[in-house]
């Protein structure tokens, strides 16, 4: 069956609305700034009167387009309007790299923020969130909306303001962790997020697919002796691969052999490695995993006394993230750094479950087509391919395949050198920090200058600076994974970005507050030691020296900024935001901003003379050349690297160099590739064969399917836990925000249900009433609540004989509820409002405690049900059943513990404090803490 071009289909579907937006262009252009801003209030009013967002779409998009033109000097193309419409409909827009995805988000974000419920724009890292808030946020501010930014390390109050804004820029991990923290809050004052409304995800495939395998976890500390990790690491080090243990790289697992078991038991002098009291097997297996599967400078880097995980998809470090189940400690032991305590999960959520909780979700990416099925099966999101603004004229050469690694690296070296001599800019993509440093060494030997962009901290800081220059003549850039790098590679260099860096370099050291360390250095009068100007960029970055006139103008503009804003008085973030605003075109009264803007434009004009000439030259040579050195686990990531070349219709070329020893083909290649390897004996002759290329593609598809199955399984299992999580968090939030009456109602319900539990547990209705053990029932009730002390068997036997179990139940429920009301009266007499505070405390502490235990239990169940497959049972169904039983037991336990704590609650005045303290379940200074 023939399929048409998907982008043409998209174009046809939205063309009428695009034409309507274009038709409003002249009318919108004629409005003054104030009239344009007044449109926002007009739209809000129309929404209040019952019009829908769809009714406003055409006008709102026209307004944003005009505002973007006035503030940023960027006028969204027609294809960007189409992208905005796709996002507004809650779909995924696939747009090629360099087609201006970032600007697209402003259109639907403005439209959906008009309702006042807030819009979250989610990016992959803090740098991009900040850049977008400072840059695109100017459009929203110009139109009278508030714009928030959430960054790692922000205080609670700042977060609350950020989330309270109309449009909030935030990273996926900050957003997820704030959601979990909100569900651990002890009072409403601690909440930072509002109810979710609409979310736009930039680089949606990176967040919803690559990150989906790692759940977000908030954990507390659990004590475990670290000696065992060190012993296990020594044993793993002494063991030999394929003799003591086998490694399955595909499943990322290790298996001890018979010899391995015996050797470990001898060395440790234990009889059973799997003894649940010592659990040595777990330590040994983690130590072997740390040795074989977690490679330094590939999966993690060592900084000081810390092991920092490197994200395999974006090549960035993930500060503060730790592997679970003792694996992180095993790696710490292997590297000989301080071993940190083990942790226990308090709250967790996967990105899959988290993002599905938004009523409307949209996303943008350069490469989603290969994952269409996953987006639709798991997230119920459709993918629409947006046509490019100009036709793509990039040339993708066929892969060059070598038998061995050495042949491949030599060819890569020759290719870089050949292109560099020609003067073409080259971007080399690698899959790990280690590989990128290997290539760097080869280039050092050849004397070719290069820039290195990988997860090492010293390189990350200069990231956008490096990328902005990757398009200059003869530039060589080695990068691990280009996903979500955010800065475009402009041929000839990015004049605007360099001009901004030049202003930043002079301005920041004068207006930003010094940090503690710097102050100490200055007192000693030793500035050289503290590194001089930390905002300075690498020498040779700028294309030319500034003219004397412009240099003088820069000095004066910085002086003006110092006199208006104060000398060294701004926070770094605030200064960045002001600089960002100065480098655009938004209207301003601030004389410092205007002075900086004037000099920025002058510098940009000077740089542009050089970059434009260089661009022509580079275009003539054939544009940016991309060299791939390894196929990634997913074709999508390979396409992202390719997409860096040939943006906006520029010429460009790409070529992948592969070897049959690459991890991907070694692990997933199968027999056919192995046979080919032995057939080719020549090391450095490339193998060109259609059959081989097909086998490689097949291997890559196999990997994609394999990881898709893992994610699908994770999703199926998580769906069980997720429905439980939603109910628990809903109940918890209900208690957190409840009024006195609502809490009272909840307590009466708890009292009734707990009496039901006690009656059902003690009375078998199939037996005659005369044989019911009513004495035992009364004893149980007295244990549960001392107000039942006055009831005797003789009081309830006649009721049971006359009306059966229902009459008995109704009588006891009435008693239980009366007891609760009596208790309320007593406590309120001590201090008004104390009962409500105590009830809320009991519900929250019991929910948190038991949910934490439930997470441990359900994790154990998930591991255990895997073996049921051998008994011809479906593990997922078994997991659902067991999970449900655990859940109902937990909810009943919460109810029973809470109502028991309420009955036993004895407020006491403490001598030193003239106020009532909570004395009840779940704390240190609470003597009456007894669980049923």
pLDDT in tens, 399-458: 888 888 888 999 999 999 999 999 999 999 888 878 888 899 999 999 999 888 876 656
In this structure, the answer to whether residues 661 and 606 fall within a common structural domain is no
In this structure, the answer to whether residues 432 and 362 fall within a common structural domain is no
775 φψ region: left (φ > 0), alpha (ψ -120 to 50), beta (else): alpha
Q: How many CA atoms within 13 Å lie on the side-chain side of 358?
A: 28
CA 714 to chain centre: 17
Write phi, then psi, for 394 (nearest 5 degrees): -95, 145
In this structure, the answer to whether residues 885 and 898 fall within a common structural domain is yes
Q: How far apart are CA 652 and CA 619, in angstroms?
A: 8
Residue 501 has pLDDT above 90, yes or no: no
298-312 per-residue burial string, b: 16 or more CB within 10 A, e: under 16: bbbbeeeeebbbbbb
Question: Which residues, 6 or more positions from 339, have their beta carbon under 8 angstroms from its beta carbon?
Answer: 226, 229, 230, 329, 332, 333
Q: How far apart are CA 577 and CA 574, in angstroms?
A: 5
In this structure, the answer to whether residues 200 and 103 fall within a common structural domain is yes
Least confident of 305-314, 436-445, 607-616: 305-314
Q: How far apart are CA 457 and CA 455, in angstroms?
A: 6
In this structure, the answer to whether residues 93 and 164 fall within a common structural domain is yes
What pLDDT is recorded for position 224? 62
Q: How many CA atoms within 13 Å lie on the side-chain side of 832?
A: 0
Q: What is the pLDDT of residues 9-57, one digit of tens each?
A: 888 999 999 999 999 999 999 999 999 999 999 999 999 999 999 999 9
Q: How far apart are CA 429 and CA 627, in angstroms?
A: 6
- Residue 127's pLDDT band (boundaries 50, 70, 90)? confident
Q: How far apart are CA 168 and CA 676, in angstroms?
A: 54
Mean pLDDT throughout 618-645?
Answer: 86
699 in a structural domain:
no
Q: How far apart are CA 491 and CA 614, in angstroms?
A: 8
Surface-to-core class of residue 3, CB atoms within 10 Å of its CB (0-12 exposed, 13-18 middle, 19+ buried): exposed
Around Cβ 874, how many Cβ atoms within 10 Å? 11
527 in a structural domain:
no
What pLDDT is recorded for position 525? 41
Count of domains observed in the chain: 5
In this structure, the answer to whether residues 663 and 801 fall within a common structural domain is no
Determine the structural domain holding residue 297 and report its residue range.
224-340
Mean pLDDT throughout 737-762?
Answer: 90
pLDDT > 90: what percent of the chain? 37
Under 8 Å between Cβ of 880 and 798: no
- This prediction's pTM: 0.79
208 φψ region: left (φ > 0), alpha (ψ -120 to 50), beta (else): alpha
Here the CATH number for the domain that contains residue 326 is 3.90.1440.10
The maximal CA–CA distance of the chain, rounded, in angstroms, is: 108
**End residue of a domain, out of 340, 372, 402:** 340
Q: How far apart are CA 696 and CA 638, in angstroms?
A: 13
In this structure, the answer to whether residues 279 and 336 fall within a common structural domain is yes
Q: How far apart are CA 353 and CA 372, in angstroms?
A: 18
Question: Which residues, 6 or more positions from 740, have their beta carbon under 8 angstroms from its beta carbon?
Answer: 833, 836
What pLDDT is recorded for position 541? 79
Write phi, then psi, for 360 (nearest 5 degrees): -140, 135
SS3 content of the chain, % helix, strand, coil (to 5): 60, 10, 30
Among 200, 142, 131, 191, CA closest to 163:
191
Strand partners, 167: 119, 147
Mean pLDDT throughout 256-271?
Answer: 90
921 in a structural domain:
no
Surface-to-core class of residue 683, CB atoms within 10 Å of its CB (0-12 exposed, 13-18 middle, 19+ buried): middle
Residue 591 has pLDDT above 70, yes or no: yes
CA 856 to chain centre: 23
What pLDDT is recorded for position 358? 93
Q: How far apart are CA 234 and CA 902, in angstroms?
A: 53
Question: Which residues, 6 or more positions from 746, have their beta carbon under 8 angstroms from its beta carbon?
Answer: 734, 735, 738, 839, 843
SS3 (DSSP) at 426: strand
Least confident of 10-24, 76-90, 302-316, 885-899: 302-316
Q: Which residues are part of a known binding site?
A: 95-102
702 in a structural domain:
no
572 in a structural domain:
yes
Surface-to-core class of residue 632, CB atoms within 10 Å of its CB (0-12 exposed, 13-18 middle, 19+ buried): buried
416 in a structural domain:
yes
In this structure, the answer to whether residues 150 and 31 fall within a common structural domain is yes
Q: What is the pLDDT of residues 559-570, one digit of tens each?
A: 999 998 888 888
Here the CATH number for the domain that contains residue 46 is 3.40.50.300
Around Cβ 66, how many Cβ atoms within 10 Å? 23
What pLDDT is recorded for position 456? 63
Around Cβ 785, how many Cβ atoms within 10 Å? 21
Determine the length of the chain.
Answer: 932
Q: Which residues are part of a known binding site for ATP?
A: 95-102
CA-to-CA separations, 41 to 34, 46, 116, 145, in angstroms, rounded: 11, 9, 11, 10
Q: How far apart are CA 804 and CA 923, in angstroms?
A: 41
In this structure, the answer to whether residues 678 and 799 fall within a common structural domain is no
Cα four-point dihedral sign 716, 717, 721, 724? positive
Least confident of 243-257, 447-461, 463-477: 447-461
Q: How far apart are CA 502 and CA 547, in angstroms?
A: 13
Among 238, 233, 282, 283, CA closest to 259:
238
What 8-state DSSP symbol labels residue 917? E
Q: How far apart are CA 491 and CA 472, in angstroms?
A: 6
CA 353 to chain centre: 13
In this structure, the answer to whether residues 168 and 250 fall within a common structural domain is no
713 in a structural domain:
no
Mean pLDDT throughout 454-480?
Answer: 76
833 φψ region: left (φ > 0), alpha (ψ -120 to 50), beta (else): left
In this structure, the answer to whether residues 281 and 363 fall within a common structural domain is no
CA-to-CA separations, 840 to 177, 723, 728, 744, 823, in angstroms, rounded: 23, 23, 15, 10, 15
What pLDDT is recorded for position 917? 45
Least confident of 600-604, 821-825, 915-919: 915-919
Residue 862 has pLDDT above 60, yes or no: yes
Q: How many CA atoms within 13 Å lie on the side-chain side of 82?
A: 25
Here the CATH number for the domain that contains residue 876 is 1.10.3060.10
Distance spanning both ends of the chain, measured CA to CA: 67
Residue 544 has pLDDT above 90, yes or no: no
- Residue 922's pLDDT band (boundaries 50, 70, 90)? very low
Question: Which residues, 6 or more positions from 826, have their beta carbon under 8 angstroms from its beta carbon?
Answer: none
What pLDDT is recorded for position 931? 35
Under 8 Å between Cβ of 842 and 902: yes
Write phi, then psi, for 171 (nearest 5 degrees): -90, 160
Residue 483 has pLDDT above 50, yes or no: no
Q: What is the pLDDT of residues 323-342, one digit of tens each?
A: 877 889 899 999 989 888 87
92 in a structural domain:
yes
In this structure, the answer to whether residues 627 and 615 fall within a common structural domain is no
Q: How far apart are CA 703 and CA 637, in angstroms?
A: 13
């Amino acid at each position: 069956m023939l399929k048409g071009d998907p982008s043409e289909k998209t174009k046809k579907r939205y063309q009428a609305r695009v034409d309507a937006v274009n038709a409003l262009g002249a009318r919108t252009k004629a409005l003054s700034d104030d009239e344009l801003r007044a449109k926002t209030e007009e739209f809000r009013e129309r929404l209040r009167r019952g019009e829908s967002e769809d009714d406003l779409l055409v006008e709102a998009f026209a307004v944003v387009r005009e505002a973007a033109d006035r503030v940023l000097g960027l006028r969204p193309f027609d294809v960007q309007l189409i992208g905005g419409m796709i996002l507004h409909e809650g779909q995924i827009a696939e747009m090629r790299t360099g087609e201006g995805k970032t600007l697209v988000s402003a259109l639907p974000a403005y439209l959906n923020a008009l309702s006042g419920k807030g819009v979250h724009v989610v990016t992959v890292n803090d740098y991009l969130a900040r850049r977008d808030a400072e840059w695109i946020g100017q459009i929203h501010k110009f139109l009278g909306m508030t714009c928030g930014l959430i960054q790692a390390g922000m205080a609670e109050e700042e977060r609350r303001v950020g989330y309270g804004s109309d449009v909030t820029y935030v990273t996926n991990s900050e957003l997820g962790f704030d959601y979990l923290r909100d569900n651990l809050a002890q009072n409403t004052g601690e909440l930072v997020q509002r109810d979710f409304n609409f979310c736009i995800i930039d680089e949606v495939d990176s967040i919803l697919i690559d990150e989906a395998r790692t759940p977000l976890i908030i954990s507390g500390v659990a004590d475990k002796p670290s000696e065992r990790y060190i012993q296990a690491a020594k044993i793993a080090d002494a063991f030999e691969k394929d003799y003591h243990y086998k490694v399955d790289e595909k499943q990322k697992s290790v298996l001890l052999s018979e010899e391995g078991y015996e050797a470990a038991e001898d060395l440790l002098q234990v009889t059973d490695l799997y003894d649940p009291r010592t659990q040595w097997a777990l330590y040994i297996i983690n130590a072997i995993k740390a040795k074989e599967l977690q490679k330094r400078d590939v999966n993690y880097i060592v900084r000081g006394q810390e092991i920092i995980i490197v994200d395999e998809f974006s090549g960035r470090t993930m500060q503060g993230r730790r592997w679970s189940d003792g694996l992180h400690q095993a790696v710490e032991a292997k590297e000989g750094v301080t071993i940190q305590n083990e942790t226990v999960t308090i709250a967790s959520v996967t990105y899959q479950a988290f993002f599905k909780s938004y009523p409307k979700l949209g996303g943008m990416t350069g490469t989603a087509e290969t994952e269409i099925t996953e987006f639709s099966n798991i997230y119920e999101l459709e993918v629409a391919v947006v046509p490019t603004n100009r036709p793509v004229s990039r040339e993708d050469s066929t892969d060059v395949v070598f038998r061995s690694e050495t042949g491949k690296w030599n060819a890569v070296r020759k290719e870089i050198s050949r292109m560099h001599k020609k003067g073409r800019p080259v971007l080399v993509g690698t899959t790990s920090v280690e590989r990128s440093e290997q290539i760097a060494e080869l280039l050092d030997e050849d004397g070719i200058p290069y820039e290195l962009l990988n997860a090492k901290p010293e390189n990350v800081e200069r990231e956008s600076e490096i990328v902005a220059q990757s398009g200059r003549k003869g530039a060589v850039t080695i990068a691990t994974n280009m996903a979500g790098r955010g800065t475009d590679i402009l041929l000839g260099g990015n004049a605007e970005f360099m001009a901004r860096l030049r202003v930043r370099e002079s301005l920041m050291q004068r207006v930003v507050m010094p940090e503690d360390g710097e102050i100490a250095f200055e007192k000693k009068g030793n500035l050289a030691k503290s590194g001089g100007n930390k905002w300075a960029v690498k020498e040779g970055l700028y294309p030319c020296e500034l003219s004397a006139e412009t240099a003088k103008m820069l000095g004066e503009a910085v002086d003006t900024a110092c006199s208006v804003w104060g000398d060294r008085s701004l926070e770094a973030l605030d200064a960045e935001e002001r600089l960002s605003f100065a480098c655009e075109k938004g209207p301003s009264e601030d004389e410092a901003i205007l002075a900086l803007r004037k000099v920025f434009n002058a510098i940009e004009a000077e740089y542009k003379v050089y970059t434009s000439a260089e661009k022509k030259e580079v275009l003539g040579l054939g544009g940016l050349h991309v060299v791939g050195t390894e196929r990634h686990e997913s074709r999508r990531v390979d396409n992202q690297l390719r997409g860096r070349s040939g943006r906006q219709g520029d010429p460009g070329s790409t070529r992948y160099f592969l070897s049959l020893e690459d991890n991907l083909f070694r692990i997933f290649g199968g027999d056919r590739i192995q046979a080919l390897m032995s057939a080719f004996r020549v090391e450095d002759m490339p193998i060109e064969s259609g059959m081989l290329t097909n086998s490689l593609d097949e291997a890559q598809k196999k990997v994609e399917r394999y990881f898709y199955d893992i994610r699908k399984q994770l999703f199926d299992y998580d769906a069980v836990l997720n429905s439980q999580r939603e109910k628990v968090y809903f109940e918890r939030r209900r208690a957190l925000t409840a009024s006195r009456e609502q809490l009272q109602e909840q307590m009466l319900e708890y009292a009734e249900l707990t009496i039901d539990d006690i009656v059902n547990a003690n009375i078998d209705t199939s037996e005659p009433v005369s044989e019911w053990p009513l004495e035992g029932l009364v004893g149980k009730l007295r244990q549960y609540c001392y107000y039942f002390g006055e009831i005797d068997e003789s009081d309830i036997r006649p009721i049971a004989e006359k009306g059966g179990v229902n009459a008995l139940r109704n009588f006891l429920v009435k008693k239980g509820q009366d007891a609760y009301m009596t208790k309320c009266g007593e406590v309120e007499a001590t201090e008004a409002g104390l009962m409500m505070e105590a009830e809320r405390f009991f519900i929250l502490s019991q929910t948190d405690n038991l949910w934490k235990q439930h997470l441990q239990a359900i994790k154990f169940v998930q591991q255990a049900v895997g073996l049921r497959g051998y008994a011809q049972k479906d593990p997922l169904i078994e997991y659902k059943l067991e999970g449900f039983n655990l859940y109902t037991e937990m909810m009943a336990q919460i109810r029973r513990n809470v109502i028991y704590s309420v009955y036993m609650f004895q407020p006491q005045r403490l001598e030193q404090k003239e106020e009532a303290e909570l004395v009840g379940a779940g704390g240190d200074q609470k003597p009456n803490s007894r669980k049923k």
